[in-house]
Amino acid sequence: MKKMLALLLAAMMLLAVVPVFAEGPVEITMLLEGNNVTDDAAVLEKLNAYLAEKIGVTLKPTWGTWGNFDQLALDYVNSSRNEYDILFTCSWTSNEYAKYAKKDAYVRLDDPEDNLLEKYGADLTATLPELLFEGAKTEGIDGEKGIYAVPGFKDFATMNTWDVNVTLLEKYGYTLEDVKNAGFYGWGDIFKTVKEGEEKDGEVFYPFVFEGAVVERFVTGTPIVTGDSNSLLSYYMNTEDVSTPGAYGNVFFNKYATPEFEKFVKQMREYYLAGYIDPAIAIGETATDTWRNAQNTARYLISSEVSLYGYEYTTSEARGIQVAYLMTTDAPYIDNTSVQGAMMAISSKSEHPEEAMKFLNLLNTDPYVMTLLNYGVEGIHYTLNDAGEVEFIPEARATYSPWTNGVGNVTILPPQKGQGADFQQRFAEFYAGSKKLPIYGFTFDSKPVEIEIAAVVNVKEAYALSLCTGAVDPETALPELLAKLEAAGMQKIVDEANAQLKTFLGE
Amino acid sequence: MTAIPKKTAIPKKAREHFRLNAVSRKTEAAFHLVLGIFALACIIPFVFVIIISFSSEDSIRRIGYSFMPQAWSLAAYEQVFRLGDALWRSYFNSFFITVVGTVISVVMCILYAYPLYRKDYKFRGFFSFLSFFTMIFGGGLIPTYIVCKDLLGMSNNYYALIVPMLVSPFYIIIMRTFFQTTVPFDLIEAATIDGSGEYTTLVRVVLPIMKPGIATVALLTALGYWNEWFLCLLYVTDRKLYPLQYLLMEMQRNAEFLARNSSMIGASGADAIRTLPSQTMRMAVVVFIVLPIACAYPFFQRYVVEGLTIGSVKG
């Protein structure tokens, strides 16, 4: 009996390892993020014919969705089988770029021994801005810095903006300039006028709607510190010129212990008590829905948005109002988080890394391939109007809408309806004007203080959102939070981060 | 006018007499209360879901989920029907997986449990142990995943959604117990003496008596298959194979993921949120999921009750 079982198992294993000899083009498998694709047959037919002729590969995509990508990526990383040659990765998914590059999950593309980028990616390196590759450098298993994924050429700089409902603003005789000049600390009067005016018909109106978890960064001028995924650290930018260090220099602080933070939460409390902020925004479960619903139904005056170039057009159209975005810094700033926001890595288990690189090279430089994969087939999924703009066919688009930013170089795509024929040039020019943060390239390695972080995060989670939305009184809650953070070992985290930064800057 | 005759009261003693076989009134009231509350606790959430699915999105935005929404609307159901192919295909998948899975699973369960019940089967102990062992010790998620996906090729096909749940040691034990309590061994001996072979005995003699037991296991298995989404999450990426449960699960997970990462994905995330199914629509999908299985329940119920009472000594 046991022998039989053993034989059976052995037979199964044999079956599994018998290689399949393929003739003709090499099949490249690819895992993507954030898609809504149910029917890719028409696209793949055209794409694969083209790819097979041009570089001798065919593509087999797996269309991950927002909901299942994390699971798929983790399954793959844990499994022994080579299932995807190319994987989407970035600083915020479960197959986190820096972390898994260090675990040897991805092929080093600029490996001095076998430089795939040099061999097969010449067009790619010529097309993508140098700084993208710079930001993609991370430590591998050998501790050497290298490029482990092709960065996406998209809105690679962060634009923290106030989203202003201009239509409503002008109804009460204010201008965009008024909002700009008053600044966050001086919006009280505008809020008051608009709230009173809008509530005449008896309906509750909240003029200030925002994402509670990030709005603090807009006001105090602090970027996300790459590697600090729990928002514990603050680095103060010079918001007048983001490429130079701020007033404090290049140093990290405990986010909750600075005078700037205290001033911010006190102001929020004032707005909250005055009834300018929807209480639902202070509750984690309802926060995002409330914020987005208010925006989409145009029931807000000022909101927060991490925006991108040309986004006014999209939102104005969708909401039926005039929307304007006021940047909180002098220029979009480039940090690792935004540069590593969407990347394509080649799996270290891949049997065809060279073909995969050839494909990535083509995907990011050949408009035909990129357009086909993103927008579908002309005549089936979209039509081109006289201005050369893409107009989607809704029924077909509903079965084929990949997440554009998650695919590759968006600047070689044709413009969409209403963007204008020269949209991509303007887009590229706009982001060419963005500035690198002084600490660009730094990634906080949380490993040495893992235990402290686990303890601190629990404390922080209980207070942060309600403090940042003004739902609790900072007079009592803030000292409580600070005391608890201290007890949980916050200082050690800050010291560790500063020590790492010093080493990084070579001081 | 004649006086209406008073209703003759049943003497207290006699009343007690009727209740000889029953628990006391107080206990009964307590039981009713507890069970009533339990039943309500089961039904109210579902009623709530139905109400939400018929509320207008605007009302939810204003006053949140409520038993008394400000306005009613059929918009959610219109949205669900607009899913079109995706919805009906998922419906078909759910039915297909449930029916095929249940039939195969029940057959396997019977064929495994029957020999275990037969006292004259030599390897009874070994096979009992074999199935019981897997109840206590499992391989863990990752090894199971690797074996299923890499070794057995369960990825992006119906196998992956059916095979991993085919054999449940727990149901085998239930089934064996059913055999033991309902089928006297003498019956099998009698059948053998009458010249019946093993298969005829099983199919023509044993199974007809076993109907309640089979119905119970079939119902539990069918419920398991109908509600399953985890297998799909693990092994299936092709949206053509999604069962209804996973379609809903995916809507929910998409919404949660985007909410969590909105600042990372930025503006394109906002677009994605705008195209997400609304809250009321997700509730409408829940209604679609629950309805068929709720309709199937009454048909099985008779057997389940029978199955629970059969075999015990009746008063």
A67·B254 Cβ contact <8 A: yes
Confidence of residue A359 (pLDDT cuts 50, 70, 90): very high
A102-111 pLDDT tens trace: 889 999 999 9
Using a CB-CB cut-off of 8 Å, the residues of chain A touching B251 are: 67
Check whether residue B40 and residue B185 sit in a common domain.
no
* Residue B13 within any structural domain of the chain: no
Give the minimum alpha-carbon distance from B105 to chain A in angstroms, rounded to a whole number: 22
Check whether residue B257 and residue B222 sit in a common domain.
yes
In one-letter notation, the amino acid at residue B123 is F
A34·B265 Cβ contact <8 A: yes
pLDDT (0 to 100) of residue A444: 87
Higher pLDDT residue, A497 or A283?
A: A497
Q: Which residues pair with A392 in a beta bridge?
A: A382
* Residue B19 within any structural domain of the chain: no
A423-463 pLDDT tens trace: 888 988 898 889 999 998 888 888 889 899 999 999 998 89
> How many A-B residue pairs are in contact by the CB < 8 A criterion?
109
- Which pairs with CB-CB distance under 8 Å and at least 24 residues apart come from B252-259? B252/A67, B252/B282, B253/A65, B253/A66, B253/A67, B253/A68, B254/A65, B254/A66, B254/A67, B255/B282, B256/A67, B257/A66, B257/A67, B257/A70, B258/A66, B258/A288, B259/A287, B259/A288, B259/A289
Using a CB-CB cut-off of 8 Å, the residues of chain A touching B61 are: 293, 297
A394-414 pLDDT tens trace: 888 888 989 988 898 999 999
Q: Can you read off the two tokens belonging to residue A147?
A: 């490029």
Residue A352: φ, ψ to 5°: -130, 55
Taking each helix axis from N to C end, the angle separating A41-55 and A353-365, rounded to the nearest 10 degrees, works out to: 110
Q: Can you read off the two tokens belonging to residue A404?
A: 């554009």
| Total structural domains within chain B | 2
**Fold of the domain built from segment(s) A14-154+339-375:** D-Maltodextrin-Binding Protein; domain 2 (3.40.190)
Interface test with B, best of A66, A313, A333, A434 (most B CBs within 10 A): A66
* Residue B265 within any structural domain of the chain: yes
**Fold of the domain built from segment(s) A160-331:** D-Maltodextrin-Binding Protein; domain 2 (3.40.190)
CA A212/CA A97 separation, integer angstroms: 26
Confidence of residue B10 (pLDDT cuts 50, 70, 90): low
Check whether residue B178 and residue B62 sit in a common domain.
no
Check whether residue B29 and residue B131 sit in a common domain.
no
Confidence of residue B267 (pLDDT cuts 50, 70, 90): low
Whether the predicted pLDDT of B20 surpasses 80: no
Using a CB-CB cut-off of 8 Å, the residues of chain A touching B56 are: none
- The complex's ipTM works out to 0.72
Check whether residue B164 and residue B283 sit in a common domain.
yes
> Which of B52, B73, B94 is at the close of a domain?
B73
A65·B249 Cβ contact <8 A: no
Of A78, A293, A403, the CB nearest to B142: A78
> Which of B11, B38, B73 is at the close of a domain?
B73
Average pLDDT over residues B232-253: 86
Answer whether B312 touches A (CB < 8 Å). no
pLDDT (0 to 100) of residue B233: 84
| Domain that residue B114 falls in | 85-309
H or E stretch including A263?
A: helix A259-273
Residues of each domain in chain A carrying CATH 3.40.190.10: 14-154+339-375
Q: Which SS3 state, helix, strand or coil, does residue A163 take?
A: strand
Using a CB-CB cut-off of 8 Å, the residues of chain B touching A63 are: 237, 239
B237·A12 Cβ contact <8 A: no
CA A212/CA B138 separation, integer angstroms: 43
Residue of A nearest to B229 (CA): A68
Q: What is the CATH number of the domain that holds B111?
A: 1.10.3720.10
Of B150, B234, B254, the CB nearest to A81: B150
Average pLDDT over residues A57-64: 92
Give the minimum alpha-carbon distance from B307 to chain A in angstroms, rounded to a whole number: 36
Answer whether A222 touches B (CB < 8 Å). no
Answer whether B147 touches A (CB < 8 Å). no
Check whether residue B281 and residue B157 sit in a common domain.
yes
Whose tokens are 């040495």? That residue is A448
Answer whether A66 touches B (CB < 8 Å). yes
Check whether residue B68 and residue B214 sit in a common domain.
no
Angle at B217 between CA B211 and CA B220, to 5 degrees: 135
Q: Which segments of A221-322 are extended strands (E)?
A: 233-235, 252-254, 302-306
* Residue B315 within any structural domain of the chain: no
Answer whether A307 touches B (CB < 8 Å). yes
A477-495 pLDDT tens trace: 999 999 999 999 999 999 9
Confidence of residue A19 (pLDDT cuts 50, 70, 90): very low
Higher pLDDT residue, A177 or B70?
A: A177
Question: Of A17-21, A289-293, B158-162, which one has max mean pLDDT?
Answer: B158-162
Check whether residue B89 and residue B68 sit in a common domain.
no
CB-based contact A65:A110 (threshold 8 Å): no
Check whether residue B142 and residue B270 sit in a common domain.
yes
B272·A66 Cβ contact <8 A: yes
pLDDT (0 to 100) of residue A218: 93
Q: Average per-residue pLDDT in chain A?
A: 89
DSSP A156: -
Interface test with A, best of B66, B123, B235, B264 (most A CBs within 10 A): B264
pLDDT (0 to 100) of residue B315: 36
Whether the predicted pLDDT of A15 surpasses 60: no
Of B64, B256, B264, the CB nearest to A92: B264
Average pLDDT over residues A113-117: 91
Give the minimum alpha-carbon distance from A507 to chain B in angstroms, rounded to a whole number: 31
Whether the predicted pLDDT of A264 surpasses 90: yes
pLDDT (0 to 100) of residue B134: 87
Using a CB-CB cut-off of 8 Å, the residues of chain A touching B253 are: 65-68
Q: Average per-residue pLDDT in chain B?
A: 83
CA A54/CA A353 separation, integer angstroms: 17
Using a CB-CB cut-off of 8 Å, the residues of chain B touching A12 are: 151-152
Using a CB-CB cut-off of 8 Å, the residues of chain A touching B254 are: 65-67
The whole-model pTM stands at: 0.78
Answer whether B19 touches A (CB < 8 Å). no
Check whether residue B209 and residue B270 sit in a common domain.
yes
Check whether residue B156 and residue B64 sit in a common domain.
no
* Residue B16 within any structural domain of the chain: no
A213·B263 Cβ contact <8 A: yes
Q: Considering only A136-150, A250-264, B6-20, which range has the smallest mean pLDDT?
A: B6-20
Answer whether A337 touches B (CB < 8 Å). yes
Q: CB within 8 A of B24, min separation 6: which ones?
A: none
Confidence of residue B1 (pLDDT cuts 50, 70, 90): very low
pLDDT (0 to 100) of residue B94: 93
Check whether residue B268 and residue B149 sit in a common domain.
yes
Of B151, B237, B257, the CB nearest to A66: B257
Of B252, B258, B267, the CB nearest to A308: B267
Higher pLDDT residue, A283 or A236?
A: A236
Using a CB-CB cut-off of 8 Å, the residues of chain A touching B129 are: none
* Residue B281 within any structural domain of the chain: yes
B-facing residues of A in 135-164 (CB < 8 A) are 155
CB-based contact A396:A380 (threshold 8 Å): yes
